[in-house]
Structure 1
């Protein structure tokens, strides 16, 4: 028997149908291309540090080598010169420091997206496909392209270093960047791609589907003009405002009860059979329940709180795990909420595989118009997502959310949904 092991294929966000990086996706995340001025500043700082490391070589060894090259001293005199040992030491120091500097810069650039110059100028390098670290081999290939351009002295390096200005996508990617699949971004005026928390939130926000627009339904209110007809009336609603069997326009009007037409002061003949004993009595008593039903409907509609057709509307939080938490009273959410500061609240611990929830993260309580979320000075904060756009709460801040909104607790999210109405 042959066993086949399925390898999970990673889905990379931000690629178009041809598998190319989409600049619009990166812009939606908040990534900004690094400006040419600060890119040049970062390069100048890196080169300046490298030149400083060459000073021992130039000051301690180069003068003696120049004497040997010009014939001022013989090879025997060069080896036996009093400064020969010092020249060797100074040259060794420069070579060793330069080698360490190059390796450290290479590793930092490949694994962290920075060099010393880029860190100072606020520039970071990322892989243009994944928007993550570029990788040490991609960075090495980029350096090799720049070094190989020196085959054409002055002209080659100048063309490579100026190639970012030729980028048709206006992302500032030069020839060496394209070959190495590297993109330089500005972290001073845009999102830092190495801020894992904000990057996760940005990706979730961009991927979140926009909230569906609520369709405005026609009003069921009775028109003020008694002659005017309502614009809309459900099939199960009659003119009295009571839910029941609809009355067809062609059906004859129900006859008025005979007893209702008689004056209240009319004398009663003892010999005349009572209306209750006649067969018409049930027909007279039929409209009574309909009239009596209308009264409670008006009383319930006037009661305070969000209600629909005589029932209180309940809201709940539907977590990203599918779990639903009804919010009928104040609740505290977190890894292990402490209700000491909120005696009337109920502690609701949440699973936290991402380790982004605080012990007591947020207080959720029902208010008029929806739910109120209050941040409890959490480490990774709270946010309100409305229409696909997130608004982050200040530490200790609060906001009101309604049905259709979503909230963020650390890296966990929850939708505000309606649950089964509560009978009043």
Structure 2
């Protein structure tokens, strides 16, 4: 079984990791298709008016209702739908037609007030890979290549996988049968369980959430990874994951950075992201050696794999 698959580009949120972003030329192509549909409306209305005044006057309304229906049901404009795209919620990874309609309502108003300047500027300033514009950020959306929700993570090109090494965690007292009050992490030899935060009250925010992953630190601490987690001497949530849970790790040698590495749940393991740390993040690859992760490039690390960050390490539970 392979231990780690490196994704070739950084991703802003774990829910987007299974999805492919839409390249800029395809986005422009979809926009061109939408423009063609709009430009066809006036000639069609003229033809309808020559035959029936009522039908000609109702044509723009019918056209608008069809466009809205497509956006709400497909989470995409007609051009995007024809080219195999859709919008998804950045937190759950699921399609959101209602917010897609809100996005294009905001974008249409901004375009009307600025003679189309603001939408063009917003797209030009959006950063790859997902090129989320101001309108996407306000509505919590990302435009992706159409794929079934919950699909498997992207497969890296050949040669980006390393073997899973064996790992014997340090000896530690057996955990009590009943849940106990967590012991502060970072104390060598003191095992503890960092419980995941309680589930949100709104079920919609937890739909399609990946299975819980477990990580065992070298000091005996277990971490239940149900949401993004940040490890470091004094970690803070990075701007790309503002809701990540900080987990401090004591490190007298100061080999790890204050905010070193981010973990997020994934099917069969965890996503590991080096947050531009000083001493890096490495995946132990057994007989094949050690693989150093590139900063800001997420890697899918399978269960049973050992990861070093600075002079510390953790194992992804198998």
The structure where helix makes up a greater share of residues is: 1
TM > 0.5:
no
Structure that is richer in strand per residue:
2
TM range (shorter): 0.3 to 0.5
> Which structure has the bigger radius of gyration?
1
